[in-house]
Structure 1
């Protein structure tokens, strides 16, 4: 029995195209992962900011009237600050 070599693929471009497609898909995946990481980082930063402001507002509300006068605000000002929205954060 004689040995016959398998013919080379007719289009070498198909390998290049699939490698290129794989490279594009990998780049796209990395880009999507980077965007997700950015969004998660932003979310964590906003949550930390929300938590800190909430803590500060609770501390302000816990001050007595003399302490509030010392920093130049009234009880009504402290309560108004405590009820302020977090939308602008």
Structure 2
């Protein structure tokens, strides 16, 4: 079933679209949407972790010591940013 917009433009909040013109997603479309959403969430997580690891590298040795890390540990964590997870 394809989506066709309502033929008349309604500017009031009380305007309702008949059930025959409402968009209905097929199970196949819903599956694709879930996959795309899942990929977007994964990509956002990868970017977030990469940003955190880069921020870690910008910390001074004293700041790293304050959070209980050495420069070597920070560099090791940074190298993990090149792995997906």
TM-score, normalised relative to structure 2: 0.66
Pick one of 49, 57, 64 that aligns with 1:61: 57
Gaps of 5+ in 1: 1-28
Gaps of 5+ in 2: 1-24
Which structure is larger by alpha-carbon Rg, 1 or 2?
Answer: 1
Q: Where does structure 1 differ by over 2 angstroms across 4 or more consecutive aligned residues?
A: 85-88
State yes or no: 1:48 paired with 2:52.
no
Secondary structure of residue in 1 paired with 2:26? helix
Give, in angstroms, the shift of residue 87 of structure 1.
3.4
Give, in angstroms, the shift of residue 86 of structure 1.
3.1
Give, in angstroms, the shift of residue 38 of structure 1.
0.4
State yes or no: 1:87 paired with 2:81.
no
TM-score, normalised relative to structure 1: 0.63
- Of Structure 1 and Structure 2, the greater helix share is in 1
Secondary structure of residue in 2 paired with 1:72? coil
Count of residue correspondences:
60
Output the aligned Cα RMSD: 1.3
